[in-house]
Amino acid sequence: MAMFSKIRTSGLAFLVVAISGCGWPEPPAVVTISDPPVFRPVSPKEIETVDQTMAAVITVCNRDLALPSVDPLYVHVYRNVTSLAFYGIGWRTLSLDVANIDGFAIENKMHINLDKVSKASWGARLPLFAHEYAHNIEFQVTGGNLRSTIWFSEGFGDWVTARVLDSLAWQSYEVTLHRAKLELDRHREVVQGLSWLQDKRDWDSQLQKPKGYVRTYSLAFAAVARLVEKKGISSAIGYIKSGDFEGSFGESQVAYKTDLGNRKQLQTNTFAIGRPEWKVGYHWTYEEKLPGAKQTLRKEIANESYIRNMPVFVVTLNGDEELYAKETLGLIATKKNGQLRTERDKSNEFFNWPLVTAKEWRNAYSIQDFVNRDSGSIDRWMVIADMEEVRVPAGTFKAVKIEAYDNKSGRLDAEYWYSPTARWFVKIRNYGLADGFVREQQLLNLKLD
């Protein structure tokens, strides 16, 4: 695009689809970013190159967050993990040593491993570039002599990423922070506090433990968010420069386990709600919000049928079909034009009837994707958080709040608000889908007669 003429690039052959697997080491493609134009893409689909990705990130960092510029910036893009190990770290480095590294930043150089994001669009890769650019800013501010602890550095990277997504109107900062705080609340027994995250060895040790992401990234992000809220971004830059935590913020590091990780959610309602009656003809219409776009989804109970001798409701969704087990109202399969697209060995149990105060259950199943000839498994822990009053376009409803946590990482995968009056969800918030962004559905209208 002509608007990016000020960005000098080299080796643009890397824009072809990355080859998965180890492969032979190849020199990285290097993209030099200098004085990029202002670019605010409305949706991830508008981003097609590294140039545009970095222009969007730098636009927000410079103009909205008033962060220092890194110019020139050299973005090194590697086709595979072997190339990252050999050329990015050093020829003695084994691929296995860096297999889990998405990217890293040193001075005014950014290194990105396409092995880890080979199937993602450039727009979906923007959060990774934003996080690493935050580290480039740290080097810029300190002249390469980093003084901040690793928890602050990684938390600052996630804070910058969240602010970039918010400024582009792709994902609300409040929702991103809300997710991290719920994760800390849910797994407060494993959160050991910031004093355990001083250096890389401590960080890696905590990251490898059960619920490692929550112990590290969730805690670090929530801590930095709180510090910036209390003291401002200028104080954060001051801390990066000096490394003097107490002098810059006047806060105690050790207090965060109690402050962020031990905020026990108290349920105030007692209830027991049974499975609703569904009938052919019921329908619900939702507005789904995704980065830079909205769409309308219409669900209608079209008929009743069987799959593997299991009685199911067939629900049409904008022309496609979803099959829900009658016993649980859990999703068991999807179809298009009469052909199976996906099938689960057990239903996705959104519910465990009756819905009772503080109830929890495991929701684990395998899934076959016949379209992409792929398979996978889901293992979540479902938690009834409380009964809440929820306002959506269709009205105000009393709804049971259900949270779904990944059993391995501890991350919050989804939030559901089930209304006995609507006999289905009035609001759904899904995190970390294929594109990595939050999607939210809200009920527009319904017909139950």
- At 391-417, the pLDDT tens digits run 999 999 999 999 999 999 999 999 999
Residues 409 and 359 occupy one common structural domain: yes
**Percent share of the chain, pLDDT over 90:** 70
Give yes or no for residue 15 having a pLDDT over 60.
Answer: no
pLDDT at 108: 96
Residues 158 and 13 occupy one common structural domain: no
Mean pLDDT of 425-432: 94
Mean pLDDT of 51-56: 97
Indicate the range of 63-77, 132-146, 310-324 predicted with least confidence.
132-146
Give yes or no for residue 311 having a pLDDT over 60.
Answer: yes
Residues 277 and 424 occupy one common structural domain: yes
| Mean per-residue pLDDT of the chain | 87
Residues 36 and 180 occupy one common structural domain: no
pLDDT at 255: 46
Residues 52 and 126 occupy one common structural domain: yes
CB 128 within 8 A of CB 103: yes
Residues 138 and 152 occupy one common structural domain: no
- pLDDT-derived band of residue 9, with 50, 70 and 90 as boundaries? very low
pLDDT at 260: 54
Total structural domains in the chain? Answer: 3
Mean pLDDT of 307-319: 95
- Which residue intervals of 60-216 are DSSP H helices? 81-83, 122-142, 150-167, 173-186, 200-207, 212-213
pLDDT at 18: 34
Concatenated DSSP letters of 261-276: H--PPPP----EEPPP
- pLDDT-derived band of residue 380, with 50, 70 and 90 as boundaries? very high
CA distance 421 to 418: 9
Domain boundary among the residues 101, 127, 143 is at 143
pLDDT at 316: 97
Domain containing residue 161: 147-264
38-75 exposure pattern, b = at least 16 Cβ within 10 A, e = fewer: ebebeebebbebbbbbbbbbbbbbbeeeebeebeebbb
Mean pLDDT of 27-34: 96
Domain boundary among the residues 107, 128, 143 is at 143
pLDDT at 14: 33
Rounding to the nearest 10 degrees, give the CA dihedral for residues 376, 383, 151, 94.
-20
Give yes or no for residue 221 having a pLDDT over 90.
Answer: yes
Sheet holding 103-106, edge to edge: 29-33, 73-78, 109-113, 103-106
Residues 206 and 333 occupy one common structural domain: no
Rounding to the nearest 10 degrees, give the CA dihedral for residues 285, 290, 293, 298.
-20
- pLDDT-derived band of residue 100, with 50, 70 and 90 as boundaries? confident
Indicate the range of 46-60, 85-99, 341-355, 402-416 predicted with least confidence.
85-99
CA distance 95 to 404: 34
pLDDT at 146: 77
Question: How far is the CA of 198 from the CAs of 150, 194, 409, 412, in angstroms?
Answer: 6, 7, 21, 25
Domain boundary among the residues 121, 143, 165 is at 143
- pLDDT-derived band of residue 237, with 50, 70 and 90 as boundaries? confident
Query: Does residue 66 or residue 84 have the better pLDDT?
Result: 66
Indicate the range of 346-355, 373-382, 385-394, 425-434 predicted with least confidence.
425-434
CB 71 within 8 A of CB 10: no
pLDDT at 240: 84
Q: Strand, helix or coil at 343? A: strand
Query: Does residue 292 or residue 11 have the better pLDDT?
Result: 292
CB 292 within 8 A of CB 284: no
Give yes or no for residue 120 having a pLDDT over 90.
Answer: no
Residues 307 and 370 occupy one common structural domain: yes
CATH, residue 429: 2.40.360
Residues 26 and 110 occupy one common structural domain: yes
Residues 153 and 11 occupy one common structural domain: no
Residues 126 and 19 occupy one common structural domain: yes
pLDDT at 272: 96
Residues 172 and 88 occupy one common structural domain: no
Q: Strand, helix or coil at 403? A: strand
